[in-house]
Structures are given as C-alpha cells and as structure tokens.
C-alpha cells in the first residue's frame, strides 16, 4: 500500500519538536513604601507652626526634626527654609546696624528719648 501523503517521509529522520515555553506574566515589584514621603496634613502644618512660634521650643523642635530619620521630607525642607530666612534676616539686621553706626545714628536719637 503506497501512501501519497506528502507529509509522511519515512526515510528522513524526524526533526525534534521544540515547544515554546508557557507565557509568564512579568513580575512587578511593589515600590518601596517610604512613610517620610507622605503628604503632610493641614493639622500637621498647624501644629508645626504653633511649635515654631514658641521661642525656645522652636529651636529644640527644629533640631529634633532635622536630625530624626523618621521626619517627613516636607517638614525637613520647611525647617531648612525657615532657617535660611532667619539667617538672611539676622544678616540684614547686622548690616543695617553697622551702616547706622558708621553713619553716626544712635538708636536713642531715633526714638526721640535722651539717655542723659
């Protein structure tokens, strides 16, 4: 019995059949959760403003907030900005006092009171 099947070829060795591996969904890692990058609430800002307005407590709070690794990044940047503004205002004050001293202006003369 002769086979006319064009796919059947008994004299040729069979080619190995390769199977494609099953499709796997890519594994996505969850981003690392960093609690210091959360958005600060309005209440947190109000508490920070109140503590920053108390004269000696503000410096202590600022140091604690800047040194602590658990402090929110927004709070750290805000404290750094406050320190820069304070440094600039002190510098302007010192420069203005020096300019007034060089000009011969006395603070007693500005107020209209005489110390003598």
Tell the burial category of 62 from Cβ atoms under 10 Å away from its Cβ (0-12, 13-18, 19+). Answer: buried
Dist. CA 108–CA 113, nearest whole Å: 6
Task: Give the model's pLDDT for residue 113.
Answer: 55
Place of tokens 């020096």: 98
On whether the CB atoms of residues 66 and 36 are closer than 8 A, the answer is no
Tell the burial category of 24 from Cβ atoms under 10 Å away from its Cβ (0-12, 13-18, 19+). Answer: exposed
| The two structure tokens encoding residue 14 | 């069979």
**pLDDT of 14-28, one tens digit each?**
666 777 778 788 887
Task: Give the model's pLDDT for residue 103.
Answer: 86
Domain parsing of the chain, residue ranges: 39-111
**pLDDT of 18-71, one tens digit each?**
777 787 888 877 778 888 888 999 999 999 999 999 999 999 999 999 999 999
Averaged pLDDT score across all residues of the chain: 83
């Amino acid at each position: 019995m002769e086979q006319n099947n064009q796919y059947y070829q008994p004299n040729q060795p069979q080619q190995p059949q390769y199977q494609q591996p099953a499709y796997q969904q890519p594994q996505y890692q969850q981003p690392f959760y960093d609690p210091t990058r959360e958005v600060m609430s309005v209440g947190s800002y109000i508490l920070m403003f109140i503590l920053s307005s108390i004269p000696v407590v503000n410096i202590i709070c600022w140091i604690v907030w800047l040194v602590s690794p658990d402090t929110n990044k927004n709070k750290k940047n805000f404290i750094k900005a406050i320190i820069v503004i304070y440094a600039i205002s002190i510098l302007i004050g010192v420069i203005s006092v020096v300019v007034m001293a060089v000009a011969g202006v006395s603070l007693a003369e500005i107020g209209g009171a005489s110390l003598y």
